[in-house]
Chain A
């Protein structure tokens, strides 16, 4: 059977399994990814089936995980690294930004860096600090990296497969609060290209661009707006670098209004980049300034108030109202 009802976690696990079966050079490496199956169980059962040589419980050091992945890639392997939580990626920042991102270029294209760095990200799970961050813009800012994020199980499955097949390094952000939401995954489908955005709900009044954990929230907002008679067009950006801006521009050309939603702080975030590109390409189509709904420029708050801090349906609808009133 090629279609199954899977959670995002299950879909990611299936994608890893699929690629490990297809290519003996694919390795999984990270903290607790072996017997435990990862703290979110994404690698559940893989070590049992593929062995400790291919599913590697790493010593506890993120720079080590990514630095070792560079050496493995030079030797011809395709490491898939798990960073346990978003806030733990920073010790590996130099290895990702200075080494992984540049190596292909520095070797004049003669050595590929087919490394995937999986990062569970975002808030909404009531965690302690450093476990709820959205650091995607740091990586999207870096030449040589590709950055993607999935919002549903089917995308999780296909985008992870495509990322592992990619000869460039891919930072793969997984919205941890959506890990257990289920959806249909057709493992014999023809997926869209990895770096393509997708219209997930059509509408005529306001374009809402979201990605990762905020796509479901944006869709909820679109449902609520429809009750008020406003038709929101929701676009799942999927790829944060490179950005597939054309579907966004085409949508804005029709709606004239754009709201960008993400959990990350708004200043210099993905929303700023989307706004800049859209005003470059669709200036005369815009009926109102592009609005951003995102995290505030504060540290991620203590978890008891994170639901107030995070963008939700009401804050999206507030932005929709403001852009419609302009």
Chain B
């Protein structure tokens, strides 16, 4: 006999809306959704894409130092983001602009760290949306700890869906190789924590394809840790919504963690500093363009939901207004005070830091005196 068998073919993924915009059913993930909800999801997708495009444009204009685009991943983010209840907590990477949108975090706030005027800049507990985390995978352990707190607070498995709380931990195919992510899986499984691990497999970790990270489909890894894994069409907002909703509800009811692999594609560069033409073929991009998350919903809305021209015009107008607001607000973001790095290093400034600040201030003021 041989211990090594052939690698099985790529598995199916959960899909509720085909790339052509045909609504299909999945036996495990039924979704009843009103036309108004569909329109609302479409609006989210359009506005997130527009915000993201403004991010790229603002970087090109020199208004941002960097932008990490979520182009192509809008459905994966909006679907999961809208699956959360208000009390649920999200732990994003640095690319979850669509999730931030769903958590009512002002897009302009997100721009702060890309413009270089802040290092984070919001209160995670205000919208239940943690700070962006740049070191890959670190936030999955934060999600685990937060879920431990949720469990200790007695808001898991009470049966009260308005109180029971779940935690959604975002990461990517690259981060799935990090030790932190694997430790997070172990902790969540061993303590049966209310965490949903949401891996957006966008096929690329900068220039490294997902084959560099794994030789099994990523969602299969969950079984080795002892909890369910599922692959969902990450460009299908309905499937992402349905699957995440089920996983979050199972988590909040005390059934423990799930790994969702949202199979998607990073249509843009890793960041505005990256040049993907050096490592991937344009054919691949074209293939994924045909699976665009927004076009399929638009097609469905027109064909099956009878949504008329006015609706789309209305959303386009709103998108334009959002863009105007973002551009103006971005340019208006003030540079931080040169002395601001000394603030909030500690809950109270230490004497030695106060002395450093005083020395720096005196130095700065010496120039003003020289000029006056």
Contact = CB atoms under 8 A, between A and B. Distances in A.
Interface stretch (A99-107, A199-207, A294-302, A317-325): A99-107
Contacts of B130: 74
Across chains A and B, which 8 residue pairs bring their CB atoms closest together, nearest first?
A67-B141, A71-B145, A75-B149, A106-B120, A68-B145, A71-B146, A109-B344, A110-B123
B346 A72 contact: no
A111 B351 contact: no
B252 to A, nearest CB: 15
11 contacts: A59-B190, A67-B180, A68-B187, A71-B141, A71-B147, A94-B135, A98-B138, A104-B347, A106-B121, A107-B131, A168-B347
Interface string A71-83: 1111111010000
A262 interface: no
Interface in B133-169: 133, 135, 138, 140-150, 152-153
Contact of A67 (B123, B138, B344, B352): B138
Nearest to B167: A71
Interface centre among B140, B147, B346, B352 (most CB of A within 10 A): B346
Given A109-B344, A242-B353, A71 B186 contact: no
B144 A71 contact: yes
Contacts of A167: 347
A93 to B, nearest CB: 11
A107 B141 contact: no
A63 interface: yes
Interface centre among B135, B179, B344 (most CB of A within 10 A): B344
Interface in B309-352: 343-347, 350-352
Interface of B: 91, 118-126, 130-131, 133, 135, 138, 140-150, 152-153, 179-180, 183-184, 186-187, 190, 343-347, 350-353
Interface in A184-220: 195
B121 A108 contact: yes
A75 B124 CA distance: 10
Given A72-B148, A103-B131, A109-B344, 11 more contacts: A61-B187, A63-B141, A64-B186, A70-B145, A71-B143, A71-B144, A72-B146, A95-B141, A107-B124, A108-B120, A110-B125
B152 A53 contact: yes
Contacts of A76: 149
Interface centre among A53, A72, A243 (most CB of B within 10 A): A72
A118 interface: no
A166 B123 CA distance: 20
A109 B141 contact: no
Given A75-B146, A108-B121, A110-B123, A64 B347 contact: no
B346 A102 contact: no
Interface string A109-124: 1111000000000000
A106 B138 contact: no
A59 B193 CA distance: 13
A91 interface: yes
A146 interface: yes
Q: How large is the interface on A (under 10, 10 to 19, 20 to 34, 35 or more residues)?
A: 35 or more
Contacts of B344: 104-105, 108-109
Contacts of B140: 67
Contact of B141 (A64, A77, A103, A195): A64
Contacts, number: 139
Contacts of B353: 242
A288 interface: no
B124 A74 contact: yes
Contact of A94 (B138, B143, B146, B148): B138
Interface of A: 27, 53, 56, 58-59, 61, 63-64, 66-77, 79, 91, 94-95, 98-99, 102-112, 143-144, 146, 166-168, 195, 242-243, 245
A77 B147 CA distance: 12
Nearest to A166: B347
B186 A61 contact: yes
Contacts of A106: 119-121, 131
Given A71-B146, A72-B145, A105-B344, A63 B180 contact: yes
Contacts of B153: 75
Contacts of A64: 141, 144, 180, 183-184, 186-187
Nearest to B126: A110
Contact of B346 (A71, A95, A168): A168
B183 A67 contact: yes
Contact of B145 (A53, A69, A109): A69
A104 B124 CA distance: 11
A270 B130 CA distance: 35
Nearest to B132: A106
Contact of A59 (B126, B142, B183): B183
B190 A109 contact: no
A74 B142 contact: yes
Contacts of A102: 119
Contacts of B125: 74, 110-111
Interface centre among A68, A168, A195 (most CB of B within 10 A): A68
A70 B343 contact: no
Contacts of B141: 63-64, 66-68, 70-71, 95
Contacts of B148: 56, 68, 71-72, 75
A275 B37 CA distance: 67
Contacts of B145: 67-75, 79
B183 A107 contact: no
Given A64-B144, A71-B146, A243 B121 contact: no
A125 B149 CA distance: 37
B184 A67 contact: yes
A71 B138 contact: no
